[in-house]
Homo-oligomer: A and B are copies of this chain.
Amino acid sequence: MKFQAVKGMRDFYPEDMAVLNWILSGWRRVSLRHGFQEFDSPILEYLDLYTLKSGEGIVSELFHLTDRGGRDLAIRPEVTPTLARMVAARANALPRPIKWFCMPRLCRAEKPQRGRGREFFQWNIDIIGVDDPVADAECIFVAADYLREAGLTARDVVIPISDRRLHKGILRGFGLGDDRHEKALALLDKAENVDPGRMHQMWDEAFGAAVPFAPLGRLLAAESIDEFVAIASQVGLTPDSFEGPVADLRQLWSYLDQFGIADYCRFDLHVVRGLAYYTGIVFEIHDRRGQLRAIAGGGRYDNLLQLVGGPAIAAVGFGMGDIVLAELLKDLGRLQGLSTGLDVYVVDAEDGLFADVLKIVAALRRAGVVAEFSYKRQSLGKQIKSASQRGARFVLIVGQKHRQQRVVDIKDMQSGQQREVPADDLLARPQEFLVAAGV
Chain A residues in the interface with B (C-beta under 8 A): 1-7, 9-14, 17-18, 20-21, 29, 32-35, 37-46, 48-49, 52, 60, 63-65, 67-69, 71, 73, 75, 85-86, 88-90, 95, 97, 100, 105, 107, 109, 119, 130, 132, 134-135, 141, 145, 148, 254-255, 258-261, 308-309, 342, 355, 358-359, 362-363, 365-366, 368-372, 375, 389-390
Contact call B3/A17, Cβ cutoff below 8 A: no
Q: A45-B6, A65-B64 are in contact. Are A389 and B95 (CB under 8 A)?
A: yes
CB-defined contacts of A369 to chain B, threshold 8 Å: 33
Tell me if B2 and A88 are in contact (CB < 8 A): yes
Q: Which residues of B contact A41 (CB under 8 A)?
A: 5, 11-12
Interchain CB contact (< 8 A) of A309 among B1, B45, B73, B145: B1
A130/B375 in contact, CB under 8 A:
yes
Q: In the complex, A381→B94 CA distance in Å? A: 21
Q: Do residues B86 and A13 form an inter-chain contact, with CB atoms below 8 A?
A: yes
Distance in Å: Cβ of A314 to nearest Cβ of chain B = 11
Q: A1-B308, A73-B6 are in contact. Are A38 and B65 (CB under 8 A)?
A: no
Shortest distance in angstroms between A276's beta carbon and chain B's nearest beta carbon?
A: 18
CB-defined contacts of A29 to chain B, threshold 8 Å: 368
Q: Are A359 and B258 in contact (CB under 8 A)?
A: yes
Establish whether residues B44 and A63, one from each chain, have CB atoms under 8 Å apart when the complex forms: yes
A38-B11 contact given A260-B362, A362-B259, CB 8 Å threshold: no
Copy tally for this chain in the complex stands at: 2
Least distance between A17 CB and chain B CB atoms (Å):
5
- On whether the beta carbons of A11 and B49 are closer than 8 Å, the reply is no
Chain B: which residue is nearest A81 at the CB level? B3
A5 to B145, CA, bound (A): 33
> Are the CB atoms of B48 and A3 closer together than 8 Å?
yes
Complex: A394 Cα to B322 Cα, angstroms: 34
Closest 6 CB pairs of A and B: A9-B42, A35-B372, A65-B65, A14-B37, A258-B358, A12-B40
Question: When A11-B42, A33-B371, A132-B375 are in contact, do A2 and B89 touch as well, CB less than 8 Å?
Answer: yes
- The answer to whether B6 touches A362, judged by C-beta atoms less than 8 angstroms apart, is no
Question: By the criterion CB–CB under 8 Å, are A35 and B342 in contact?
Answer: yes
Per the bound structure, the CA–CA distance linking A17 and B83 in Å amounts to 14
